[in-house]
Amino acid sequence: MQHNIEVNNVGPNGQIMADAVKSCVHCGFCLPACPTYRVLGQEMDSPRGRILLMKNVLEGTLSLNEANPFIEKCLGCMACVTACPPSVPYGDLLVSFREYANETNVKYSFFDKYLKKFMYAIMPYTARFRFVVYIGIILKSLRNFLPLKLRAMFDLLPASFPVNEKFPETVYAIGNKRARVALLQGCVQSVLAPRINQATIRVFARNGIEVIVPQGQGCCGALTYHAGLSDSSRNMALQNMKVFPKDVDAIITTAAGCGSAISEYSRLFQDTPQYEMAMDFSGIVEDAISFLDGLGIVDEVIVNEDREIAYHDACHLSHAQGIRNAPRRLLHHIPRLKIVDIMDGEICCGSAGIYNLEHPEVANKLGVQKAVNIIKTGVDYLVTSNIGCMTQIEVSLRAMNSNINVKHIMEILDDAYRGEF
């Protein structure tokens, strides 16, 4: 797409945005892949339409405040990147444009402005988030008296407060040690579902993997990065770089959103003194699923009952990182297990960081669509790889009175090893 963007006038990412705009040929292959276009049906709510809007803003022919509501509605799921024949780097464009919008002081309503500030001041910080979740569970009875966006917060809270288990700094491999890794616990996940990390450590240990859990670690920066808040993200990332050891085979993530954001540290740290350090760090970060699949399962899984499950591809594992086959290969190690396909399985569930809090109407529609398609499979279990997806899908299923169990793939493997699946 031809443009007249003056790259030196639109911030440090001007060339990145201009190159992305230029690579779009306006073909429309992205339209059916885009969740918001499928729900809202407007060209401006599609990747192609958003690219044109961003182009016009960067050229100075459209105001930022006119275009931004449509850019804000993008989930950032990257399904359009998978569908795009010329491989437009839409993710780089979206994050760079959001950073440009923040620096240009884009206008939000009073409520939305302070909702964002509250979320980004709480969710990446485990202690703060744990306290807010605890208070939220206590005050759940007030839900019906609140505005829609605040009701959405209460809907996503667990029914009871999860037990916070502290891990030893080193969990040794059982039997012959085949690898040594460090575990990134995640900020939201470690509060809402600490059982995922517990299951991962047990599964890894059974497969000869020593797991280190570094003290002092925090958020990887994913939540703020995808919102264009790069300074905050860099500070969080640097803290982790200080505390994680370098003499490990991999740094393991169990949340697809974390792995996706860390894989983009090259953009986040471009033209900074910490670039090489960031590249060394991100270069050894790997999703638990991918790492275990590559190393290979050695401990035998015994199951005495036939099971059917549906596997949901988390967008930031499938579209952003291109990891699609590894989860299925791992699940096939469980005997007597059948994986059932979900109709429109590649479409986002509506979670997308804090999207389901900022845009609950669209998120709810996507969640309902996902839940309906999961229920149609007739399975007892829905398995995925990201805490946001798990929370969103579970809420949607419960709203439809479904008792389908929602679990992380590491939990299913752990249950199978322990004879509880």
Whether residue 387 is contained in a domain is answered as yes
How many percent of the chain have pLDDT more than 90?
80
pLDDT value for 165: 73
Q: What are phi and psi of 13, to 5 degrees?
A: -100, 20
Whether residue 285 is contained in a domain is answered as no
Whether residue 386 is contained in a domain is answered as yes
Token readout for 378 is 């007739």
pLDDT at 164 over 80: no
Mean pLDDT within 157-162: 84
pLDDT value for 151: 85
Q: What is the pLDDT confidence band of residue 152, given thresholds at 50, 70 and 90? A: confident
Q: What is the CATH number of the domain that holds 86?
A: 1.10.1060.10
82, 103, 124 - which closes a domain:
103
Higher pLDDT, 299 or 244: 244
Token readout for 264 is 């983009």
Nearest one of 187, 208, 346, 168 to 254, comparing CA atoms:
187
Whether residue 339 is contained in a domain is answered as yes
55, 86, 103 - which closes a domain:
103
The predicted-structure confidence for 216-254, as pLDDT tens digits, reads as follows 999 999 999 988 999 999 999 999 999 999 999 999 999
How many domains in the chain? 2
Token readout for 273 is 């003194």
Whether residue 139 is contained in a domain is answered as no
Whether residue 264 is contained in a domain is answered as no
Provide the H-helix boundaries in 31-186. Answer: 35-40, 47-59, 64-72, 79-83, 90-103, 110-122, 126-138, 148-155
Mean pLDDT within 378-393: 95
Whether residue 31 is contained in a domain is answered as yes
Mean pLDDT within 197-201: 96
Rounded CA-CA distance 307/304 in Å is 10
For 3, the 3-state DSSP assignment is coil
Q: What is the CATH number of the domain that holds 411?
A: 3.40.50.1860
Rounded CA-CA distance 111/382 in Å is 35
Mean pLDDT within 300-306: 81
Whether residue 174 is contained in a domain is answered as no
Query: Domain limits at 49?
Result: 7-103
Mean pLDDT within 185-192: 92
103, 122, 137 - which closes a domain:
103
